[in-house]
Structure 1
Amino acid sequence: MSRSTPDARPILVVGDANVDLVLRGDVVPRFGQAEQLLDRADLVLGGSASIVASGTARLGAPTALMARVGDDAFGRFALDALRGNGVDVAGVAATATAATGVSVILSAPEDRAILTAPGAIPLLAADDVISGLEAWRGAPGILHVASYFLQPSLAVELPSVLAAARAAGWTTSLDTNWDPSENWHGVERALPHLDLLLPNRNELQAIARSLGDTGERDEDLARRISHRGPRVVVKDGARGGWSVRADEARESAPGLTVQVVDTTGAGDSFDAGYLAALAHGVELERDRLRWATTAGSMSTGRPGGTAGQADLAELRAAVAS
């Protein structure tokens, strides 16, 4: 069911579609064939790109996703969930050559660990994205790429994808998410072609280290990255979020005080709030950040990445209050 509003810019999200098995309770494993009892287990839609796409669609921006899933039960589960959230899934192809990606999330109140089997996620290629952009029939909107390090083939060619998108009039955005190998190679090549980079604080510091920047305040690190191209919009956990662009003044917004059930996908919902604000023409950066921090905070009230996401009316009411 479409929730989009006619005056919003379209958003094309590129990245991962998978399922998350979210476990809560006594989630620290004890080997030696020990059996542990959990408080709760939920099978939910996962993948940074899928959570972002669901969030922007709920917030009234016409949203399409490009991704790869397996031709299996988990793939059908993910597609049904995306459609139910109002996402156009014409660009999500099911393949018989790999299974749908799966993440097991060990969720504690203040932290989490993630175990991921990528499955079909890395099969999305740069040519697929460029073909999708060339076939686009509407006005150019916002191109957001997620989970950079889970898609090595796409990552290698991402600078050319972003350059092509910008040449066609798209606003370009990237959330790398965490690098499982922790080497962070390649991000520097994408920076000149980005309008937005959306890391959390740990990712910001890791990207800065990969560029040779260390031992400085987070804001200084973000400014040095921004001089390479993008506005840097930083997710700062319960403290909210902030952003800088080159030598402009820092803008910030606090998070909401909420009863946290599950932080899975909160950063992706932050991204969705920011991108939706941009799509709806919110002009002031501090107001875009308020959309982002509000969306991220509200998403933590229910298990999984999408069940707690706000719709447009709920978010606007929360921002206004």
Structure 2
Amino acid sequence: MKTFDLLVIGDANPDVVIGPVNQPLTFGQRERLVPTGSLCLGGSAAIMACGAARLGLSVAFAGRIGDDPAGAFVRAALEERGVDTTALVVDAILPTPLTTVLTSAGDRAILTAAGCLPATTAYDVPAELLRSVRHVHAASFYLMPELASGLAGLFKEARSNKATTSLDTNDDPADRWDRMVLDPVLRVTDILLPNAAEAHALTGHPVLADAAGILARRGPLVVVKNGADGAIAHDGSSVLRAEALPIEPVDTVGAGDSFDAGFVTAVLRGLGRPQALAIAAACGSLSTRAAGGTAAQPDWDLALESAR
């Protein structure tokens, strides 16, 4: 009997979401006013974990925070949303990561002070936890190089205990998209969950379906988020598509992570690939109804109903 449905490994931090920013930013101590600002839980892994818990999965989180008020905020926010934080390591030296998100007309710019993220390693994930879950998801691959170098080993261990695996690489701030580190992980990844820009960057191919196919032939099922244009899934030979919901977004921060939560939850509930893709697209769309990544995440009944 598994203790948790899902273990999420990766980044967790406070987000300060500001915007919309409707004019270019300038230095020289010039101040600009924006309509809204919010302090909320951020980090791709943390938002995905909260989305999956909201959808009804039992979820554990493994990662690293600092011994500071920001870290206490992160732990409390995860626990409020039903995520187990027993494996959340407190770094005695480095601070909790901090992110500022500037929103503008459906797009965003992200500034992150990495704090303890580069110190996160595979050794932060308890072996007994890997043995007690049905699925392991990792996020923000390129923000945590030490964890990235050990992730293939973690995924292999999870699979040896009959768990499935998924990865959302997120962006690479260095813009290198290193295949030498990523390819060993893809060989033990069941589901890869990039967005369209990441799929293009990972392959260098301008056509989205072709980029997804290239990635799928490197091992995993590839499920690509494409904003208002919905999503596609590619298994190396065939393509599925799902539409986004017609929602006017308040804030798209974390929509892709809520999509990830929807797809993984649907798969773990035994649904077929077409329905899982539709539910994931619904979860991503619904999450944009409020500011921040977690405030508007749907429960399972709403996600299921919206995907019909």
Alignment TM class, shorter chain as reference: over 0.9
Q: Which runs of 5+ in 2 are unaligned?
A: none
Q: Conserved in 1, the CA contact under 8 Å of 2:130 and 2:158?
A: no
Given the alignment of the two structures, is residue 165 of structure 1 paired with residue 158 of structure 2, yes or no? yes
Distance between the aligned counterparts of 2:224 and 2:154, measured in 1?
24
Q: Conserved in 1, the CA contact under 8 Å of 2:17 and 2:38?
A: yes
* Counterpart in the other structure of 1:3: none
- Segments of 4+ in structure 1 off by > 6 A? 6-9
* Counterpart in the other structure of 2:85: 89
Deviations 1:54-109 (A, max 9, x none): 00000001111101111111111111111111111111122221111111000112
Distance between the aligned counterparts of 1:9 and 1:224, measured in 2?
33
Distance between the aligned counterparts of 2:2 and 2:54, measured in 1?
15
Given the alignment of the two structures, is residue 105 of structure 1 paired with residue 101 of structure 2, yes or no? yes
Given the alignment of the two structures, is residue 133 of structure 1 paired with residue 121 of structure 2, yes or no? no
Given the alignment of the two structures, is residue 182 of structure 1 paired with residue 175 of structure 2, yes or no? yes
Given the alignment of the two structures, is residue 220 of structure 1 paired with residue 210 of structure 2, yes or no? yes
Given the alignment of the two structures, is residue 304 of structure 1 paired with residue 292 of structure 2, yes or no? yes
Aligned pairs for 1:136-147 (under 5 A) are 138=132, 140-147=133-140
Partner of residue 315 from structure 1, selected from 287, 294, 303? 303
Distance between the aligned counterparts of 1:205 and 1:187, measured in 2?
15
* Counterpart in the other structure of 2:231: 241
Indicate how the Cα distance of structure 1 residues 110 and 137 shifts in structure 2: closer, same or farther if over 3 A, else same: closer
Deviations 1:107-161 (A, max 9, x none): 11220000000112222211222xx2334564x4110000001111011122222
Q: Which runs of 5+ in 1 are unaligned?
A: 1-5
Q: What fraction of aligned residue pairs are identical, expressed as a percent?
A: 40
Q: How many residues align?
A: 305
TM-fit CA distance, 1:166: 1.3
- Matching residue's letter, 1:152: P
TM-fit CA distance, 1:7: 11
Given the alignment of the two structures, is residue 291 of structure 1 paired with residue 279 of structure 2, yes or no? yes
Given the alignment of the two structures, is residue 230 of structure 1 paired with residue 226 of structure 2, yes or no? no
- Matching residue's letter, 1:218: L
Q: Conserved in 2, the CA contact under 8 Å of 1:8 and 1:60?
A: no
- Matching residue's letter, 1:16: D
- Matching residue's letter, 2:49: A
TM-fit CA distance, 1:189: 2.4
TM-score of the two chains, using structure 1 as the length reference: 0.91
Q: Conserved in 2, the CA contact under 8 Å of 1:8 and 1:281?
A: no
Distance between the aligned counterparts of 1:157 and 1:66, measured in 2?
14
Distance between the aligned counterparts of 1:234 and 1:92, measured in 2?
29
Q: Conserved in 2, the CA contact under 8 Å of 1:61 and 1:280?
A: no
- Give the SS at the match of 2:187: helix
Partner of residue 69 from structure 1, selected from 65, 72, 82? 65
Distance between the aligned counterparts of 1:224 and 1:26, measured in 2?
36
